[in-house]
Amino acid sequence: MAAKISLIPGLLQKALTVSKNRAYWACQLFGWGTFVVYEIVNQIGLNMFSWPGALLMVAAAVLGIAITHLYRYAIQRWRVLEMPFVRMSLLALLAVFAMSFVLFLALSFVTVAYTGELSNLSFESRYVFMSVLNWSRYLFVWVLIYHLYGLMERVNRGTIERLSYENQLKNVELQNLKAQINPHFLFNALNSVKALTHSDPKRAGDAVMMLSDLLRYSLNYEKQTLVPLSDELAVTRDYLALEKIRFNHRLEYNIEIEAAAERLLVPPILLVTLAENAIKHGIATAVEGGWVRIVARVEEEQLRLQVSNTGFFAPQPGREGIGLANISRRLDMLYSGKAGFTIQNNPDDRSVAATVTIPTAQ
């Protein structure tokens, strides 16, 4: 199966190459065919039409296709389209006059071969100059179109490569952030189990069962960028129940979730990280403990998640917690600045509220 998947990029690239070659030849035939029709109509309009003249235009079209195709091969071979713009433009201008001179010579010999009269072959300087200048009009249009197409393709290719590189960096950074969050809350949960191992084995067994759910979730969430809020709530409840065993009467918690909010998608471990931070910095530091309240509502096409806890938030520059810093970073990367994250103190009930707003349209 993996071998088949690995063949897809190669097959796609081959298909695109074939498609571009077909488009190139279609444009060649259409462009030079239009040239023949235009010249013949022009001859008829000037009452100068003759079959030899018409056949000469057909020969010019065939020679034009051959010459421009060789030019295309040359600029691909020497990567002319990747040169600096000024140098590329000068080479293209020289190529126009060089191809025009070659076309003039070839048509002159075709005329001699058709008529059998060397007198038709003229290399008088003024005649050569005007003939080359005349053919350069058509070749200049061909070169201009081809170079503009090549430049646009180069710009598009550069844009695609840049976006691909940025996307790879974003994915790598998200994985690194997840790897940091993963042990961060799991180690705290392990400390809860350790605290009960000797004092209350039965409760420790219950804690191990809840911790196994946390571990199972942690192994699965790294494969996903977003998860339903209902999944995040389930593991958050396990985490809070585990911490309730550890803190006993020192911890009280309440969860209020709107039904419409449960089906919305959120970054994995977001809610768990907020709950873990509330307990670590709010409950664990207070002798008398405190409470944690989780609320999720849909307001004005935004999912509003708020985790409140007893305590006081006093940020120290340069010493921000890894969990909170990662929340801000992940939200910014996933939602391109459309999500929000704030932490505010509430003097009325001496609590701290961490609020995340996420657009519901994802």
Residues 284-320 pLDDT 10s: 888 888 999 999 999 988 999 999 999 888 776 655 5
CA 58 remoteness from chain centre:
47
Tokens 């298909």, residue located? 15
Q: Could you tell me if 305 and 267 are in contact, meaning their C-beta atoms sit under 8 angstroms apart? A: no
CATH for the stretch 197-359? 3.30.565.10
Quote the Cα angle for 91-96-99, to 5°: 115
SS (H, E, C) 177-201: HHHHHHHHHHHHHHHHHHHHCCCCH
Angle at 348 between CA 347 and CA 349, to 5 degrees: 95
Query: How many alpha carbons lie under 13 Å from residue 284 in its C-beta half-sphere?
Result: 12
Nearest to 148 by CA among 67, 65, 92: 92
Convert the pLDDT of each residue in 324-350 to its tens digit.
Answer: 777 888 888 888 889 999 999 988 888
pLDDT at 276: 86
With a cut of 70, which residues of the chain have pLDDT below it? 1-18, 118-122, 165-166, 168-186, 188-189, 218-219, 221-223, 316-323, 362
How many of the other CB atoms lie within 10 Å of CB of 153?
Answer: 12
Helix count and strand count (H, E) for the chain: 9, 7
CA angle 290, 294, 300 (to 5 degrees): 145
Give me the half-sphere count of Cα atoms (radius 13 Å) on the Cβ side of residue 196.
20
Rounded-to-integer distance, Cα 286 and Cα 279, Å: 10
pLDDT of residue 168: 66
Retrieve residue 173's tokens.
């950074």
What is the residue extent of each domain of the chain?
16-165, 197-359
> What's the CA gap between 83 and 92, in Å, rounded?
11
Q: How far apart are CA 277 and CA 266, in angstroms?
A: 18
**Cα–Cα distances in angstroms (integers) from residue 179 to residues 182, 218, 232, 356, in the given order:** 5, 10, 17, 21
Residues in Cβ contact with 223 at an 8 Å cutoff, skipping those fewer than 6 apart: none
Whole-prediction pTM: 0.54
b (16+ CB within 10 A) / e for 39-50: beeeeeeeeeee
| Token reading at 293 | 């309240």
Task: For residue 164, give every residue at least 6 positions away whose Cβ sits within 8 Å of its Cβ, in sequence order, or none.
Answer: none
Give the pairing of strands 290-299 and 340-346.
unpaired
- In sequence order, the 6+-apart residues with CB closer than 8 A to the CB of 302 are 357, 358, 359, 360
Burial call 211-229: b when 16+ CB within 10 Å, e when fewer = bebbeebbeebeeeebbeb
Q: Quote the CA–CA distance of 10 and 134 in Å, as a whole number.
A: 44
Write down the pLDDT at residue 166.
67
User: Taking every pair of C-alpha atoms in the chain, what is the biggest distance, in angstroms?
Assistant: 117
Beta carbons of 57 and 135 less than 8 angstroms apart: no
pLDDT tens string 164-178: 766 765 665 556 555
According to DSSP, the residues that pair with 251 across neighbouring strands are 290
**Cα–Cα distance for residue pair 243/232, rounded to 1 Å:** 17
Residue with tokens 């020497």: 78
**Token digits of residue 21:** 């070659």
